Amino acid sequence: GGKTAVVCGYGDVGKGCAQSLRGQGARVIVTEIDPICALQAAMDGYQVTTLEDVVEHADIFITATGCRDVIRVEHMQRMKDKAIVGNIGHFDHEIDMAGLAAVPGIKRINIKPQVDEWVFPDGHSIIVLSEGRLLNLGNATGHPSFVMSNSFTNQVIAQVELYSNTDRYERKVYRLPKQLDEKVARLHLDALGVKLTKLTPEQAAYLGVPVEGPYKPEHYRY
């Protein structure tokens, strides 16, 4: 708690990362290129600015963009001593690890598995997690089992649907039907102690949906 964290990117991954950091008591700052995502971040209560404006003051930097060269050598050289740098978005070029390793006179000290201290010639250092690769896989044990259960159930139900109703589908990519998506969620509610409210026939008719769902159009984004 009390640290200043910068989350680069406010897509689905960045949103979750920012929320998690805020839940741990961090002051979270977001960087974005997309005006819609930037507006979402601002409306969610985050300061939105450029990395250049905050690079010297933040304690933690997380990339979640899917792009390259988001955190470059010139950024890392300006970071405060022992700043933590990690990536949860893409490959190891979101953070310019090749450029970091090529800095003349820089030293790499392995603190523990997947945690390295990079010491610049001026004596200040930064902590890089998982060599700039996905830290949720390198520094942790991957995705939580409950999340994986949802993902795998989605995949299995999709395979069953394709096998059982082959004649409904051409050879192309389809979005999982909303009815099956809701089925996956419904199967996992008991584990969380969730009790759903049930529509009355009159309410369902008013909304124009079946009592048992699906409740949203196929294009709906939760």
Summarize pLDDT for 85-123 with one digit per residue, the tens.
999 998 889 999 999 999 999 999 999 999 999 999 999
**Is the bond preceding residue 214 a cis peptide, omega within 30 degrees?**
yes
Domain co-membership, 128 together with 152: no
> Does 150 have pLDDT greater than 80?
yes
Range of the domain at 85: 4-138
Domain co-membership, 17 together with 53: yes
- Is 214 among the domain residues? no
What's the pLDDT at 136?
85
Domain co-membership, 69 together with 121: yes
Six token digits for residue 152: 């795998």
Any idea which residue has 């792009």 for tokens? 67
Domain co-membership, 174 together with 64: no
- Is 222 among the domain residues? no
Backbone Cα Rg of the chain: 22
As a whole number of angstroms, the distance between CA 41 and CA 85 comes to: 21
Average pLDDT over residues 146-156: 95
Domain co-membership, 58 together with 156: no
CATH number for position 32: 3.40.50.720
CA distances to 4, 139, 147 from 142, rounded to whole Å, are 25, 8, 10
- 3-state class of 4 per DSSP? strand
Domain co-membership, 150 together with 127: no
Average pLDDT over residues 185-212: 96
Domain co-membership, 133 together with 154: no
Please list, in sequence order, all residues whose beta carbon lies within 8 angstroms of the beta carbon of residue 116, skipping any fewer than 6 positions away. 108, 109, 110, 127, 128, 131
- Is 221 among the domain residues? no
Local structure of residue 27 (DSSP, 8 states): E
Alpha helices of the chain — where are they, by DSSP H?
12-23, 35-43, 51-54, 73-78, 97-101, 135-138, 145-164, 178-189, 201-207
Query: Environment class of residue 19 by beta-carbon count within 10 Å: exposed (0-12), middle (13-18) or buried (19+)?
Result: middle
Domain co-membership, 122 together with 163: no
Domain co-membership, 127 together with 43: yes
Domain end (from 138, 156, 175)? 138
Tell me the pTM.
0.82
Q: How many domains does the chain have?
A: 2
pLDDT band at 71 (very low <50, low <70, confident <90, very high): very high
Contacts 24+ apart (CB under 8 A), 145-154: 146/188, 146/191, 149/188, 150/184, 150/185, 150/188, 153/184, 153/187, 153/188, 154/180, 154/181, 154/184
> Does 221 have pLDDT greater than 90?
no
Mean pLDDT (the chain, rounded) = 95
Domain co-membership, 23 together with 78: yes
Domain co-membership, 165 together with 198: yes
Q: Residue 126: name the closest of 79, 75, 63, 56 by CA.
A: 79
Average pLDDT over residues 123-132: 97
